[in-house]
Structure 1
Amino acid sequence: MRNFQGQFANKGGRNASKMGKAKNTKGTVMRVWNYMGYQKAALTFIIFLVFVTTLLGLLGPYLMGVIIDQYIVPKDLSGTARMCLLLIAIYGVTVFLTWLQTFVMVNVALKTIQKIRQDIFEKIQTLSLRFFDVRSQGDLMSRVTNDIDNLNQALTQSVVQIISSALTFIGVAIAMFALDWILAIVTLITVPIMFFVTKKLVAYSGKNFAKRQKDLGELNGFIEEAITGADVTTLYGKEKKTVQNFNKINEQLRVSATKADTFSAFIFPSMNFINNLGMGLVIGTGSVMVLNGMTTVGVIAAFINYSRQFSRPLSQFATLMNTIQAAVAGGERVFEIMDEVPEIKNKKDAFVVQNLQGHVALENVSFGYEENKTILKEVSLKARPGETIALVGPTGSGKTTIINLLTRFYDIQQGQIHIDGKNIKEYDMNSLRSKIGVVLQDTYLFAGTIMDNIRYGRLDASDEEVINAAKAASAHSFIKHLPNQYETKIASEGSNLSQGQKQLLAIARAILADADILILDEATSNIDTRTELQIQEGLNNLMRDRTSFVIAHRLKTIEKADQILVIKDGSILEKGNHESLMEDRGFYFDLYTSQFKI
């Protein structure tokens, strides 16, 4: 139902949700970690590999010191060669294990992202229409694609690196104190400086990364609307204005992205400077100690390498913060959707309907899409099985709103709606909607063949049943003249078919679905007279013996309706069949005669 319901819902707005600085970094990280918890074995293996590679990394500088003091200084060439080969072997094994842990981590990350993307997509399918009324499609697309991609990038690059950095930091500190406590203290002098600089830069850049993700969602929403409404833009000659608006949003994104990336880019040079400062202190202090016989050249060489390893985790962590900040900001936007509570929910033990007879009643129904703005005002109507109820009236009078309420896309604020004597809230929504067939003015066709699109009405239908539905809808005659007939591929948005042909396919789809109640929303609008006759024939076959609600501006098409409800300003102004309403010479009479001269 999600694929067509937005086409006839009364959209209240297109504003992207607001988002500022990440509000719950810890909570977001923990939720992502819980998703990764589904792969405990792989994560345990990764941690084991990180532990091994960290130990091998710590062994390298120690062996360098040993080689210098015990083999190079005594001029033992054969011993030096043997130890160098051992050192090369250690580094070779480290490289292989590092590649292996990266390979496993990539797979863990991709499976985690697959699960998150699946969950958010399933969540979107459960949300009520009011949720979509106030959010642009582009912003939602940005959350499902860009924000999740940022999470993927962070998982792939950051998780292993953070674990490795933590183990390296601790391991190097222990190794340095084991070698020489004085040089270890000298090395540690730079740590508070690194922490202070990192904290300041990360705190400032964090809000800019959140702002960048929000601006990217807004830009995607604008692009989506610009593409969708390209024909309207061209017809009204608003291309220049559209470009100006795009430039404004694009510049807004550039500014926020520049602030985020500029400050994050400053982290690495800052860490590099502090690292070099610490190395200079080690070399200076170590030189004095060597000259005074307090240590050896090998120990100094080992310390220089350990000094690099010691500061590298902090530098790497600081550098990764831009990735982490973007991921946390994106993660919050993703989980914000997951935490949405559907406005329309099934009651416990909701009734799963098998068939509907077609009794429909609205009793004093009032409704508004927005608070303090009523669209329907105490509307009452009754439809018996097999009756055709036509809803006519000016644009914005509330006709489509009645349809939205019958399909329970929204819940009413006042009154009751009954189908077959049961309150609509008592039904399981999916089972209820499966018994309500819909044919819209703007037919949505999916990527695939004509056969696939008709079969969407009932996925287990045989080819023969699909063809019979097409014949009943008067669609078979044009399908058989297509190059590949029922296997003809549908182009983007059905551009290789006429509006009338798409309508016939929609009718065939509804016939195949064999719903008990039908909703026809301007099904013959914008169609030429000849095609309208074909469509009307298909609609007559579809509506036979079914309770049908028809919204129509072409009043000629609803002359045979059992009831015609004339709606104006949210209230039923007149009620009756065509003949009685024409005799009353009221508002319906004026509408009808304005279309036809009698």
Structure 2
Amino acid sequence: MAQNTVNRDEDQLNRSKTELILRLGTYLKPYKLKTFAVICLMLFVMVIGILNPYLLKVAIDTNIKNHDVKGLVLIGVVLLALNSLAMIASKVRWTMISSVTNNILVNIRHELYTHIQKLSFTFFDNRPVGKILARVMGDISALQNLFNQSIQTLIPELLSLVCVTVVMFVLNVKLAIASMSILPFLAVAMFFIETRARKRWDDYRKKRSNLIAFIHEDFSGIKVVQSFAKEKDKEKDFKEKVSVLMGSFMRAVKMNDFFWPLVELSWGVGTVIVFYVGYKLVTSQEIEVGTLIAFSMYIGMFWRPIMNLSNFYNTLISNFSAADRIFDIMDIDPEIISEENAPAIPRINGEVQFRNVTFGYDENSTVLKNVNFTINPGEKIALVGATGAGKTTIVSLLSRFYDPLKGEILVDGKDIKKVDLESYRSQMGIMLQDTFLFSTSIMENIRYGKLNATDEEVIAAAKAVHAHDFIIKMENGYDTDVNERGSRLSLGQRQLISFARALLADPRILILDEATSNIDTHTEKLVQNGIETLLEGRTSFVIAHRLSTIRDCDKIMVIGNGNVEESGTHEELLRLKGHYYKLYMAQYSFINDGA
């Protein structure tokens, strides 16, 4: 899939109307009893509405004419009681509709959120976060009117239309056919409008997604924006995107606005046709004048549901795009999943093997080529090499964030693709180069490594990495909120908390990707001393550009040109005088020159 940006419209699959309606209809199934109850309440209110004119007719033509005060009072009481019941029924109906609709939206949003969490890194690599948020929040919310009207409008109006149509054919077949003669032309015109309106709503949703992605990216990088004084430039970009969004919305609305006048025009033309045919039938004495008058009343009852259904169809078309965008993501299969009935991996000893592993992030480039190595349990391994050489790729493959294109990765002799993914990852501790903290307290951020950990265990982990001293000096100690992404803390403090979180998980394999890159030299020494005992008995992979931090590793692997170019201890690689020797001497010379 092509890389998406905030300025590029997303690719989208347009499903058929039937497929979307059937698929959306499945979300109504758990609430079919409530939906049936709503329809019954609506029919009850409709019947009372029909009875009102009849009871008024009886009151006027019978009770008032005959001065029957008791009968008039009785009818008044009946009208009051019936309409009070109708008012209560309407209130209950709206409450039930709101409940059903909100529950459906919650279910869809939860299903989409759960599905997205299972998707592979490739999915997130190719999409701005803002565009994902647009689907989880905005597109799902757009379906609310659709479900409201499907319960409130679609079923009752269809039932009403069928009943009126039957009555019209019973009264007179010729007049019934005449009243419906305009429908084929209306259907063709609506299809013409629908195909164009749907494309315009698709475009509107894409532009809306672009705007949300832009806003999310801008606010996430607000420190960079302000530090370079680019507020005016961003404001200009924002106005341009809002203008584009407004234009796409107006184009979609203008096309949708043809629906209502088209139905009204068809109503008028259909009425003229009925009166013309009716006049011919009356003059030829095929029908009585009363039949024509009754039929003229039924024409209104026939076209009113069509008018309401056209409004529902309008809503349907404007929200098809939102449904398409939701199902686009739901139909993406996770690339990294456990095989069916995959066994849970036992407690890991820590032996790691890469066998002829080849990998690339896309079809046009290969990061690793036929990589082979074996790591013994409990060994501390350092990965060094130039930026982009593939160090992080190796630990990402080991963590099974991606699967190799060729070859296999074994842990304790078991192919990690053939064991339960959750049981495997639960025994790994990963501290990535990009430190991420949640917008909650320091205590809860560390506890994320082991959700059932006690406060004492959390504090012990913090002490092990020497984070305890700065934490207790903060305003609320371990209960201090770190703000979004930990913005309240320094880079070094964030990494120490992240380190404590990884250690609390008590992992069998520990991965440290540039874990000490933002820690000052004094703190780094404290951390190194603190983790020595914690690394004992665990296989660990350390990625670091500062070679001074990896001198004591059991094995150092130099990654370059898609493979392991050198492997050995610090002393062995120096004696080899290869790539590692050059890197080490370059850093040593740089430090001496700086001193």
1:402 Cα deviation after fit: 0.3
**RMSD of equivalent CA atoms:** 3.6
Task: Give 1:429's aligned residue.
Answer: 421
2:201 paired residue among 200, 209, 222: 209
TM superposition shift of 1:572: 1.7
Structure 2 residue matching 1:389: 3-state secondary structure: strand
Compute the displacement of 1:386 (Å).
1.7
Q: 1:223 to 1:434 in 2, by over 3 A?
A: same
Task: Give distance in 1, aligned partners of 2:183 and 2:50.
Answer: 19
Could you tell me how far 1:50 is from its partner in structure 2?
3.1
Q: What is the distance in 2 between the residues matched to 1:311 and 1:244?
A: 49
Matches of 1:159 and 1:308 in 2, distance apart? Answer: 23
- Residue aligning to 1:553: 545
Q: Please tell me the residue identity of whatever aligns with 1:595.
A: Q
Q: Distance in 2 between matches of 1:495 and 1:560?
A: 33
1:13 maps to what in 2? 3
Q: Relative to 1, partners in 2 of residues 1:388 and 1:451: Cα closer, same or farther, differing over 3 Å? A: same
Q: Counterpart of 1:490 in 2: which secondary structure?
A: coil
Q: How does 1:5-404 map to 2 (within 5 A)?
A: 13-15=3-5, 18-20=10-12, 22-59=14-51, 70=61, 93-175=85-167, 188=180, 191-192=183-184, 194-234=186-226, 242-243=234-235, 245-275=237-267, 294-295=288-289, 300=293, 306-404=298-396
Q: What residue identity is the alignment partner of 1:414?
A: K
Asked if structure 1 preserves the Cα contact closer than 8 Å seen for 2:12 and 2:324, the reply is no
Question: What secondary structure is seen at the aligned counterpart in 1 of 2:559?
Answer: strand
Q: CA deviation at 1:533?
A: 3.1
Structure 2 residue matching 1:567: 3-state secondary structure: strand
Equivalent residues of 1:22, 1:206 under 8 A apart: no
C-alpha displacement of 1:465: 1.3
Q: Partners in 2 of 1:269 and 1:74 — Cα distance?
A: 44
Select the structure with the greater relative contact order (CA < 8 A; seq sep ≥ 6).
1
Q: How many residue pairs end up in the alignment?
A: 585
CA distance in 1: counterparts of 2:333 and 2:476, whole angstroms: 45
Deviations 1:216-235 (A, max 9, x none): 22332233223333344455
**Residue of structure 2 equivalent to 1:518:** 510
The structure 2 residue matched to 1:443, chosen from 428, 435, 440, is 435
CA drift at 1:149: 0.8
For residues 174 and 81 of structure 2, the distance between their equivalents in structure 1, rounded to whole angstroms, comes to: 31
Task: Indicate if the aligned counterparts of 2:342 and 2:420 stay in contact, CA closer than 8 A.
Answer: yes
Deviation at 1:42, TM superposition (A): 0.9
Secondary structure of 2:488's partner? coil
Rounded to whole Å, the distance in 1 between the matches of 2:302 and 2:2 is 56
Q: Which runs of 5+ in 2 are unaligned?
A: none
Q: Which moved more, 1:410-419 or 1:185-194?
A: 185-194
Alpha-carbon distance between aligned partners in 2 of 1:226 and 1:44, rounded to the nearest angstrom: 47
In the alignment, what sits opposite 1:4? none
Q: Is the 8 A contact 1:17 1:135 kept in 2?
A: no
From 584, 587, 595, give the equivalent of 2:579.
587
Summarize deviations over 1:397-441 as a string: whole Å, max 9, x none: 111110111011111122221111222222211111111101123
How high is the TM-score relative to the length of structure 2?
A: 0.87
Task: Give yes or no for contact 1:436–1:517 (8 Å, CA) kept in 2.
Answer: yes
Which residue number in structure 2 is paired with residue 7 of structure 1? none
Percent identity over the alignment is: 37
Secondary structure of 1:549's counterpart equals strand
| Conserved 8 A contact 2:495-2:518 | no
Residue 87 of structure 1: how far off its partner (Å)? 6.3
Task: Say which SS state the counterpart of residue 315 (structure 2) adopts.
Answer: helix
Q: d(CA) in 2 for partners of 1:272 and 1:93?
A: 34
> How many Å separate the matches in 1 of 2:45 and 2:182?
25
Q: Give the residue type in structure 1 aligned to 2:157.
A: S
Superimposed CA distance per residue, residues 180-231 of structure 1 (whole angstroms, 9 cap, x where no aligned partner): 8887677556555544443332232122122222222233223322333334
Q: Deviations over 1:534-561 (max 9, x none)?
A: 4334443442332110111111111111
TM-score normalised by L of structure 1: 0.87
**Equivalent position SS for 1:390:** strand
State the 1:117 CA deviation.
1.5
